[in-house]
Structure 1
């Protein structure tokens, strides 16, 4: 029968261990246990000296009894509220009808609990109902077909299961502590990274003198906001980990405390009320998805590990190109004090349809009307195709190749209606590649990561032949490209105001070069050059 757990717990604390009813004029023994004055005096008057049924301590005489007025008031209040109405029969007082097997007052001589219904000692544990019963109760109809064990055997079985659960819980908590430690280390790393960036920002701004202080503080606030955004999810995750660890630690404490219980009956009573619910909570719940090796590792003990739902949230904090080109982005006009400026790249021709300037700083399509008047009606097919659509192969690349470090360059696109800038990478062919993969590799030896502008209105990222539409805030006249080889990131910026356009992270291959595509000729409407900016 279901009853309110809090009411049950309170009622049990207010019961006399002798009459199993609410205390009436309770007194405290020298050992600290309480019982009704009439209950204990009845035994003292007959025998002179008896043992406490709770701890087996000797009760010397009536003079050692101390009134417990607080407990008496609580028992009177509970009696007025009729708390026993919500309790099962085995926990009710003598006034409850003895319809089911329950506990009778323990014998002062033996300390054993007896069946209230039959007066027999409770020697069996019903595994079906999970309660103590006597030999007569076992044969009654309500226990027909149930499984029984002797109390000693049942207690030993429960202890063994508890020990397994305790060992699992201690091991699992140790693993959770490792996760907590890793999360704290990740928090410290991000904080250290933030501190290093703050110091570097301060050093660079100091060289721009006092009138740049305002911009310096703005950038610091941006960094702190980024730090907060990076730390907040990790702090929430750490708090969750600590809450879970606290709950598991409390469960482990309860299980450890039970090791001091020596009486099988008392232990089984604790097991039914406290131990068993903890076991059920710890037991593994079947996963919804298919089984994996990872699931087998964390559930092999039969209990559910919190590591299934806990993990370290990695942090990332970066200022992008501001880390290495801060001064240039803030005050381009202060070139005399800026230590680092965009790299000056030199183009080299990769297409017969393009012309690269002598200084290698700009590229454009060949003018059909002036450069090839006698071949106007017999232009190569490659040139004709560039009139109609964007051609990835129509480009120039930088002579400089990048393999490490951070690099930034700017390209002036002006008012062109079609163009593309970015990076070009050599493909790495796997040794175990299939024959058809080698054929594809032969015809296309490079990968591209590009910012593409087309039809005088559309922006997109072309990443390894996959198009990603984007919507920049404003149409740039200069595009900044920031390459971080260590982080495997390429970022595009509107170099007019340094607003961020897009960042793409990918596993880069070797031989990275800058990419410049002036776009289709469009009968001269898109004939302007792409130019590398120099400062």
Structure 2
């Protein structure tokens, strides 16, 4: 038996019990389908309300337009529940939604949990799933706030440039205003002549011919060409000539590019990630750890404290550096995408990594015995270079320019950066290629065009192409 929500009942006619069709409102304030009213409420040319029985003061009551619009919108909505908002009952089994399917990422009822569709799926409570996802979404706020500050900083710089241009413009502003007034008067004169000629051509032939000579003389007086507006131009090359480079110089001071950001959904439960997802640490099991917001019930690592990068690579050359500091135990490497679908016991079969315990290290690769290595002094920074096409994963110590180890393998699937213990991903130095002639020559720009460009830059920052350039993976 289907349940009707309270809002849906309010859209039903009290006579036919269906969604209103052309509802009319009676003097008693009740609304009835127009067809239902005339079927049940007509007695000797009088209309009576079928709800309260009162006689209508009008034989042709008006349409309730607001109610009709709502009913029509409701009828067009394919998902009636979404029309009124959240519904706590399963649309399939009409049971309360009490669980959240971690596999399908959707709320389910107890009957759904036992159905074939959700066989072998993982579940948690609605409250737990909602709490974790709210915290995950809230973690995105701080990076967005930082990005907002970056944009506001560049916008303020452009605003300052605009104000500087305005100061220079004041030197010619008065002359331009005078010219605008003179041109406006010319426009009025020409408009009056055009209107007069149109009226003259509609006169009778005799009147028209008498006034013809005068009309021609009037047209001659307004045929002068307008003066060139070159006097309004100002020299803006010093303001906008190197605008792109100026923006880049400002951005370089406030923006750091990290070649890898971490994916908190893959982090082991004992790892805690920084807000910008570029560093992480390890903490031992405790009751507090069990409730850590970065602990994801579906992560692939339950036996080892690892975490993956958020983006994978299936082509090209890529490079990233990490700082291990004084931590005695750490690992850096890459992992195949298929490991995400394997059981925790099988995760070691898809990882190429260098794992160190102080000065003693091991190079581990799938289907190969670990190779022992010794480094003195122990490296504090590790650089990993991946060349997907040649199948080379090279690890080195950038401080001393020494090679640590090189893996060789023919990769056939996407690789993700893989880390463990306590590490910090380091930002990389970036450069920019200046694109020539982005703006038109200053001496050919009018004041209106100039302000249009600067305003557009403020509202739609032109350094968008710079950001896209920074986001490209670099070797």
- So what's the TM-score if we normalise by structure 1? 0.27
Q: Could you say which structure has the larger radius of gyration?
A: 1
The answer to which structure, 1 or 2, has the higher relative contact order (CA under 8 A, 6+ apart) is: 2
TM-score, normalised on structure 2?
0.31
